[in-house]
């Protein structure tokens, strides 16, 4: 089980973009920009971080968990497979 997954580079890019946007939000606040503009940018930062987290969790479930339960018979995997499916609604 590797600590690096194929989605990690994309997650890093997404988080670096979010970091840049967050720095911009700080500048917007310091520069006296409108609350509406600031709230819009904060929403974008929050969404980017949330999507990065979801991608990381899904990737973990799809790969790390699969390595652990993969050899189980289908009947014994059902609850794990359902768990993986329900996480799509996080």
CATH superfamily of 8-89: Metal-sensitive repressor, helix protomer (1.20.58.1000)
**Cβ pair 41, 21 in contact under 8 A:** yes
Does 38 or 3 have the greater pLDDT score? Answer: 38
Q: Is the model's pTM score more than 0.95?
A: no
Q: What is the mean pLDDT of the segment spanning 63-79? A: 77
**pLDDT above 70 covers what percent of the chain?**
98
Q: If you average pLDDT over every residue of the chain, what do you get?
A: 87
Q: How far apart are CA 90 and CA 82, in angstroms?
A: 14
If you ran DSSP here, which 8-state letter would residue 64 be given? I
The pLDDT of residue 2 is 57
Q: What is the mean pLDDT of the segment spanning 35-55? A: 94
User: What are the boundaries of each domain within the chain?
Assistant: 8-89
Tokens read off for 21: 């946007």
């Amino acid at each position: 089980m590797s600590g690096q997954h194929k989605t990690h580079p994309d997650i890093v890019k997404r988080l670096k973009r979010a970091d840049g946007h967050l720095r911009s939000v700080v500048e917007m606040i310091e520069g006296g920009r409108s609350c509406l503009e600031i709230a819009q940018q904060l929403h974008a930062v929050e969404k980017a971080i949330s999507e990065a987290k979801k991608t990381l969790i899904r990737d973990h479930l799809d790969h790390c968990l699969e390595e652990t339960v993969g050899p189980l018979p289908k009947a014994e995997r059902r609850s794990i497979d359902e768990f993986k499916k329900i996480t799509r609604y996080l």
